[in-house]
């Protein structure tokens, strides 16, 4: 199977099954026979077409005798694939993009595909809606983000800031490693990984290029993958050696790992997750890193465990969220309707209401998400504080970052991180 044929197959499966691309792509590439260059092309095409899907469909609607939504899935996906190469990949000659794409579809559709792709080569660049006719439709097509999400961001951030955020989602984010300082210093690891750079905010991270598993030190457990904002969340928690820490929604485990490393592998960490089948991710990750203080258990964060009431020095609630901070890494989220996440704030508050009961007097509670929506972030924290006067926000320092307000939303157009939220609270009285 050629690289383009595999990309077409993966894109069709993702659209039909509504599944995350990274899992399907990793499985396909690890079990296939393609060379390194072709594997890179597959990844570029799959992620690129997904990221630009609305923009590409708008071109199809302008160039085809039939709108994109009326075309059968295989033809529509092939047209997206061909147009993406013509519009966004300078290194692929137009004739190759056209011919290879036409060869992917059945004979009855080849004339249509060939005509649409060649029509684009004769067109005067990319077609976009007129901004004067509506900011939301323009931004939606310009940055390929679903209209409901675009409208939601506009209502929260306004026009200028929303466009800045949407533009940042189009920049390829670096892969960020958290260094396992139980075994190596950041400087030592950086010297061994070509083209790696220290993270600008976190003191323990490296930005790298290439496949993670092929990097120096992976098998030896010298690092694990963790976005810089997530690393800063661990710093905000501030766990020390010998303490007891509860990580309420832990999988796949990076914050538990980072906390254990900060604790110098001394103390106790209980890592919980709703799904028991995910716990091996924590256990195997800890083993690779040489961490022995983590214990993994299945539990719904809303389910109170009375044996741990008031027993934890620090509790981390990295709650399930809409994910609207990470569309740059998970492009499928660009098309998710915020209305589908309307029930999440109540679930998040329920987890927070339960988890706070584990914090000892004077202990720390950290609440975090990987979204930028206020109802899941600041509004949730404010509601929690209104009903829990025994807690108060506390300023924190994390790496090179100082947060006086005690809570902060990381926006990807301002910080070199995922979109993220973190709040640090101190228990100052009895419930």
Q: Please give the positions annotated as active site.
A: 370
Q: How many CA atoms lie within 13 A of 272 on its CB side?
A: 22
Beta bridge partner(s), residue 368: 318, 422
Measure Cα distances from 339 to 151, 332, 335, 366 in Å: 12, 16, 12, 26
Residue 390, sorted as left (phi over 0), alpha (psi -120 to 50) or beta, turns out to be: alpha
Measure Cα distances from 131 to 128, 142, 213, 249 in Å: 8, 10, 44, 42
Measure Cα distances from 397 to 57, 201, 385, 388 in Å: 45, 11, 21, 24
152 contacts: CB under 8 Å, gap ≥ 6: 338, 373
Report d(CA 301, CA 299) in Å as an integer.
6
The CA-based dihedral angle spanning residues 306, 307, 311, 314, taken in that order and rounded to the nearest 10 degrees: -70
Of 163, 171, 161, nearest to 141 by C-alpha is 163
Q: In the numeric block, which tokens belong to residue 231?
A: 């690393």
Q: Write phi, then psi, for 246 (nearest 5 degrees).
A: -115, 125
Contact assessment for residue 150 and residue 158, using Cβ atoms and an 8 Å cutoff:
no
Measure Cα distances from 4 to 44, 232, 289, 382 in Å: 10, 39, 37, 49
Q: In the numeric block, which tokens belong to residue 373?
A: 């929506």
């Amino acid at each position: 199977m050629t690289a383009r044929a595999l990309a077409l197959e993966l894109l069709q499966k993702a659209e039909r099954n509504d599944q995350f691309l990274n899992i399907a792509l990793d499985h396909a590439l690890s079990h296939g026979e393609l060379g390194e260059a072709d594997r890179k092309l597959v990844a570029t095409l799959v992620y690129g077409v997904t990221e630009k899907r609305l923009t590409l469909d708008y071109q199809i609607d302008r160039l085809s005798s039939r709108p994109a939504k009326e075309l059968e899935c295989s033809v529509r996906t092939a047209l997206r694939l061909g147009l993406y190469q013509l519009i966004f990949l300078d290194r692929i000659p137009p004739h190759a993009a056209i011919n290879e794409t036409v060869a992917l579809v059945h004979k009855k559709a080849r004339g249509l595909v060939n005509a649409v792709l060649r029509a684009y080569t004769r067109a005067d660049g990319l077609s976009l809606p007129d901004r004067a006719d509506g900011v939301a439709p323009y931004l939606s097509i310009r940055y390929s983000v679903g209209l409901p999400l675009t409208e939601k961001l506009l209502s929260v951030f306004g026009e200028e800031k929303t466009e800045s955020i949407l533009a940042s989602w189009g920049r390829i984010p670096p892969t960020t490693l958290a260094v396992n300082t139980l075994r190596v210093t950041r400087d030592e690891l950086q010297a061994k990984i070509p083209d790696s750079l220290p993270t600008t905010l976190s003191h323990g991270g490296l930005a790298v290029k290439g496949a993670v598993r092929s990097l120096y030190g992976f098998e030896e457990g010298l690092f694990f993958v963790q976005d810089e904002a997530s690393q800063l969340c661990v710093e905000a928690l501030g766990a020390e050696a010998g303490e007891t820490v509860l990580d309420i929604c832990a999988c796949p485990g990076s914050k538990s790992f980072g906390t254990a490393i900060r604790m110098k592998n001394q103390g106790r960490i209980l890592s919980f997750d709703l799904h028991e089948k995910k716990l091996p991710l924590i256990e195997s990750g800890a083993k690779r890193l040489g961490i022995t203080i983590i214990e993994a258990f299945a539990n719904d964060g809303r389910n109170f465990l009375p044996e741990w009431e008031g027993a934890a020095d620090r509790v981390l609630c990295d709650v399930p969220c809409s994910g609207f901070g990470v569309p740059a890494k998970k492009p499928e989220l660009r098309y998710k309707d915020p209305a589908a996440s309307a029930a999440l704030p109540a679930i998040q508050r329920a987890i927070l209401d339960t988890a706070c009961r584990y914090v000892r007097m004077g202990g720390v509670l950290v609440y975090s998400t990987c979204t930028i929506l206020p109802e899941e972030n600041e509004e949730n924290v404010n509601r929690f504080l209104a009903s829990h006067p025994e807690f108060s926000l506390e300023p924190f320092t994390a790496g090179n970052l100082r947060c006086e307000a005690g809570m902060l939303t990381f926006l990807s157009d301002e910080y070199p991180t995922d979109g993220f939220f973190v709040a640090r609270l101190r228990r100052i009285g009895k419930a």
